[in-house]
Amino acid sequence: MSEGRLVYEKRDAVAQISFDNPSAHNALTHRMWCDLRDVCRQIAQDSSIRAVTFRGVGGKAFISGTDISGFVSFTSGRDGIAYERHIDECMAAVDALPMTTIAIIEGWAVGGGLNIFSAADIRIATPDARFASPLGRTIGNCLSMSSCARIAGAIGVTMAKRMLLLGEVISAQEMMGRGVLYNVVDAGGLDAAVEALCQRAVSNAPLTTRVSKEMIRRLSTANLPNIDDLIEQVYGSEDFKRGVQNFVAKNKGVPQWSGT
């Protein structure tokens, strides 16, 4: 896994966050996750910012997933609980942004990319965009309760089940048809479409935006159950170890799961 980096720029009232790891299809390293958390906390305190964009560098992928090299050192399911809590902490900083957030999707939005995509208020994509969370066909882990609620809330329970239970890849056209995407725009017109979206978001009353987002956030996260027992079961399994070994070895095909 290459180093990768998160790039933050502020242009007038718009904060631009870019995921820069194109050699790995913008997969997020541990450092990039931490930087995302810290930058979002910084942005949340800047009242001059009215919109935030998220975009992958290179035009081929938004985010292709997360660097799983650290999974090799996991010794028990408790490591999985700690990992998911770290991801929840980073994603909570994205959720807490009080201004309009816009995800710009070119190419793949997979795993952690789907999570960040789901956290965005508005989503725009190119026709070649693809969305997936193929945990059951790669390393055999699971989502946290917060991540599951976020993704299912954004794309719908039925589509979330297709991704998680069947490993399906969903096209931009289907996402658009189901109302998940604001628009699908050819690459040549994407920058102009994003600029128009940002200007519309910037012109909205900031308190209306802030309060409306917080209402929806509280509604979406109220009374989520504790699922540490489920996460520990999955991350402590032989299947998870087998999946990680298979993935790191770059073996093609779905591992032979045993259910233990």
Nearest one of 200, 5, 233 to 99, comparing CA atoms: 200
pTM: 0.96
The angle that helices 112-119 and 145-155 make with each other, rounded to 10 degrees, is 60
10-residue averages of pLDDT along the chain (260 residues): 87 98 96 98 98 98 93 96 98 98 98 98 98 97 98 97 98 98 98 98 98 96 96 98 94 93
Nearest one of 94, 65, 103, 95 to 183, comparing CA atoms: 103
pLDDT of residue 69: 87
Task: Give residue for tokens 């989502």.
Answer: 143
Structure tokens, 206: 């900031």
pLDDT of residue 2: 59
pLDDT of residue 3: 82
E-assigned strand segments in the chain: 5-11, 14-20, 51-56, 61-63, 100-105, 108-110, 122-125, 130-132, 170-171, 183-184
Domains detected in the chain: 5-187 (3.90.226.10)
